[in-house]
Amino acid sequence: MPENAGSAPRPVPPPMPLGEFDLIARYFTRPACRAALGVGDDCALLAMAPGMQLATSCDMLVEARHFLPTVAPQHLGHKALAVNLSDLAACGARPLAFNLALALPRVDEAWLEGFSRGLFALADAYGCELIGGDTTQGPLNICITVFGEVPQGQALLRSGARAGDDVYVSGTLGDARLALEVFRGTVALEREAFAAARLAMEQPQPRVALGIALRGVAHSAIDISDGLLGDIGHVLQRSGVGAALDVDAVPRSAVLAGQPLAVQRECTLAGGDDYELLFTAPPVRADAVRAAALQARVAVTRIGRIEMDTGLRLRDGEGRDVAQVFRGFDHFRA
């Protein structure tokens, strides 16, 4: 018979929340594969292959700013890494490894389980391993630094666009913004259409294979994170050129194409969160661009031309001027 039979049951103390180091060990530590040394020491060690340059980039995700509190943790894990891989893609770099800095309001194991699952699923798909990070208590904030490799001198840059280049984008643009508008209540979509748009918003696919295939083909590239017009503006400025775009040629999903034209234009031109590649290549390399797209299994669409005259000129499919009333996202001007 148990000792305390008959007396009031002794209260079971609540389980101790996982500590910082147990949390790292349980959710963010896996054996190093490519890295010479992974999680657990003061630094990780990565050996670079001869002839390769290290490409590195860092992107932070802040709740309410970059994602809605309603997002499933596994989708957040995916997206936090996807937006960083997208930067490597834009440079034509192959992903190697990443660091993860996390501020968490509390230890929520269900959240950590989902987040790490989404994160590692994408990491594994690209052979990109988690080699370190930092973990602290605070308002939810996720900051990833990625490391990739690109053969010396072959990185795709924003500054390489030349007059006469064709301007291309991969995939379709605008769905992430369309989903955001549904959350904001300004657009209504059928259930399936919303699910498709939401997928684009919460689980973007970084165009890593395309970026790599465009090495030596594209003159310039950028990933579209703040809206097409804002991001092409960066390419034009860094390259000292201008461009003419056919706004009706910008590829969009069937769901978005079913919306009023003003919504289509706002979403495709100023949407943001697309994580498609925008790149330029000379017309003589059009076949090589098509081959790269085939190899990467992603559609690419020509949407305009780089011109000597600086500035951006927008036309519709009939060649009529379109007033430029949109601008790219700017955190301090939004």
Distances (CA, A) of 304 to 168, 248, 270: 7, 10, 16
Q: Which amino acid is at 179?
A: A
CB of 207 to ligand ADP, least distance (A): 25
Of 35 and 71, the one with the shorter C-beta distance to ligand ADP is 35
Among 3, 42, 318, 321, binds ligand ADP (CB under 6 A): 42
User: From edge to edge, which strands make up the β-sheet containing 94-104?
Assistant: 52-62, 141-151, 94-104, 129-137
Q: What is the largest CA-CA distance in the chain?
A: 91
Residue 28 as a binder of ligand ADP (CB under 6 A): the answer is yes
76 lines the binding site for ligand ADP (CB under 6 A): no
Q: How far is the CB of 109 from Mg ion (least distance, A)?
A: 21
Q: Nearest approach, Cβ of 87 to ligand ADP (angstroms)?
A: 19
Is 111 an interacting residue with respect to ligand ADP (CB under 6 A)?
no
Tell me if 85 sits within 8 A of 146, measured CB to CB.
yes
**41 Cα distance to chain centroid:** 29
Which residues contact Mg ion by CB under 5 A?
134
134 is an interface residue for ligand ADP by CB under 6 A = yes
- In the list ligand ADP, Mg ion, none, the entry touching 22 (Cβ below 5 to 8 angstroms by class) is none
Would you count residue 126 as binding ligand ADP (CB under 6 A)?
no
Amino acid 298 reads: V
Residue 58 C-beta: closest distance to Mg ion, Å? 16
Using the rule CB under 6 A, which residue among 11, 13, 31, 41 binds ligand ADP? 41
277 contributes a contact to ligand ADP by CB under 6 A:
no
- Based on the shown chain and the rule CB under 6 A, indicate whether residue 197 belongs to the binding site for ligand ADP: no
User: Hey, CA dihedral for 209, 211, 213, 215, is it positive or negative?
Assistant: negative
Q: Which of 71, 82, 128, 130 binds ligand ADP (CB under 6 A)?
A: 130
Q: Are 148 and 95 contacting, i.e. CB atoms less than 8 angstroms apart?
A: yes
Give CA separation, 196 vs 13, 53, 199, 206, 255, in Å.
Answer: 45, 37, 5, 17, 8
Chain residues binding ligand ADP by CB under 6 A are 24, 28, 39-42, 100, 102, 130, 132-135
